Structure 1
Amino acid sequence: MTAHEGEKILEQTGAAIRRQRLAEGLGLKELARLSGLSISALSLIETGKRDPRLSTLDRIAKSLGTKVSTFFQDPAVDELKAGSTGSGYDLSEFE
């Protein structure tokens, strides 16, 4: 993994945390209180400037009422799934 790829992962994960926090209607101060992390630490994580430990991600996820895996899902894929009316792949031609 290159340094650029690592930075991109941190930025994407931080953005996912921010989206989840805002979806829950929480400010940084409230999430800090719930998770036991400082506001500045959360801010650095959300902006991709700090590489959090897995245990820190777990504390954040639990405070937001979700799972750590939520932070690694592609929001574009989630939107496609939400708009999908099908029940999966059409494999009829392979029968």
Structure 2
Amino acid sequence: MVDNAEKKLLVDAGKRIRETRSAQGLSLEQLARLTGISAPALSLIETGKRDPRLTTLKRIADALRVSLTTLIANGSDVVEPSPSSSTGGYDLGEYH
């Protein structure tokens, strides 16, 4: 089950893919030929309705001639680790 944060990530990545594709003047069918991914599958990715594998996103990025991070990274979501963290790590005691 996809939670709201994951859904937003999928929608945002799909939007960046669509914007990049459109800016380059490519149709879904043309991108499909370049990636080997069907146009309907690409459409589902662009609308955030399909959770693509990392290798699929890499194929799309390569076809669009952009970095993978261009498609999936959102600068405002980057979190720098706090050097003053007093916890010293994660508590994984509940996970066996």
**TM-score higher than 0.5 here?**
yes
Percent of aligned pairs sharing the same letter:
49
TM-score normalised by length of structure 1: 0.74
Higher helix residue share: 1
What residue is the counterpart of 2:8 in the other structure? Answer: 8
TM-score normalised by length of structure 2: 0.73
Letter in 2 for 1:49: K
Root mean square deviation, CA, Å: 1.7
What residue is the counterpart of 1:29 in the other structure? Answer: 29
| Structure 1 runs, 4 residues or longer, greater than 2 Å off | 72-76
What residue is the counterpart of 2:47 in the other structure? Answer: 47
* Unaligned 5+ runs, structure 1: 77-95
* Unaligned 5+ runs, structure 2: 77-96
Letter in 2 for 1:47: T
The whole-number CA distance in structure 2 between the counterparts of 1:21 and 1:75 is: 20
Q: Aligned residues, how many?
A: 75
What residue is the counterpart of 2:82 in the other structure? Answer: none
